[in-house]
Structure 1
Amino acid sequence: MRIARDLATALERVPSAVLLYGDLGAGKTAFVRGLVEGAGGCPDEVSSPTFVLMQEYPGRRLVHHVDLYRLGGEDVADLEPLLDEMLAADAIVAIEWADRLRSLPEAAVRVRITDRGGDDREITVDGPVPS
């Protein structure tokens, strides 16, 4: 979670999309807990939004947590304008299963989480992160 907390701190100054990739159970929601904590929110409140599609967590900076796992095609396309609106509102928008998006937000940070067994995870962060 330290990586996610540090990323949230680095993203405090810009509208930010964090695109999360990884298999089921890889730790995408756990990563969002770190983002929420780094943005000044309560990580204990974070749960997977798989069945509700979206959660939001207040803090110094609002974090929207979106899960596209259950959506396909047109449903994702219908959601994209809302995602753009969230980004324009100066929030961090963390999107699980972001590979389902038709168009990716500009200047998005991509986070790939790979389960290496047990509690071990490999986390790769790619994209423009302000210093």
Structure 2
Amino acid sequence: MTEYLTASEAETEAVGRQVGATLQAGQVILLSGPLGAGKTAFVRGLARGLGCDDAAVSSPTFTLVQEYAGRTRLQHVDLYRLDPDDVDDLALDELRDAAVMAVEWPERWRQAPADAIAITIEPTGETSRRIRIAGGAGAPQRSMR
């Protein structure tokens, strides 16, 4: 497991950018953390690392899935409003091969891939965060503090 401690939203985005630069289509990121933890800020960084326009990144709570074009496409999925049975209807397994997929509220996805990279974002202060990254091929193996 790799752990990052960030002091600001910009630093959280920087960790996302670093992770995004290492990813390839087909990889899945499972983003966990409470409301307001910084999951969407992290995804903005992922987008930048993948060569996508990070300015367009917003939470897909109501659209469920947003896609961004870049060096590698990014699919940003938010399962917050869904029951696990509804998640099955999204056919996420069929979408994942064409892009990097970042999934917020992944505990609602009963069939999340075993090789996914699990990222937990924990608020430790008003703007500070602890980011833990585990599993999956391509997960970074060093800490940034």
When the two structures are superposed, what TM-score results if normalisation uses the length of structure 1? Answer: 0.91
Question: Quick check: 1:126 aligned with 2:134?
Answer: yes
Deviations 1:87-128 (A, max 9, x none): 122x10000000111111131000000011211000000012
Structure 2 counterpart of 1:37 = 48
Structure 1 counterpart of 2:120 = 112
Q: Distance in 1 between matches of 2:72 and 2:114?
A: 19
Q: Which residue identity lines up with residue 68 of structure 1 in the other structure?
A: L
Write 1 or 2 for the structure with the bigger share of helix.
1
Q: Distance in 2 between matches of 1:65 and 1:108?
A: 14
What is the number of residues matched between the two proteins?
Answer: 127
Deviation at 1:2, TM superposition (A): 1.7
Structure 2 counterpart of 1:4 = 16
- Ranges in structure 1 where 5+ consecutive residues have no aligned partner: none
Structure 1 counterpart of 2:102 = 94
CA contact (8 A) 1:11 1:129 kept: no
Structure 2 counterpart of 1:15 = 26
Q: Distance in 1 between matches of 2:31 and 2:22?
A: 17
Structure 1 counterpart of 2:84 = 73
CA contact (8 A) 1:15 1:88 kept: yes
Q: Distance in 1 between matches of 2:123 and 2:133?
A: 15
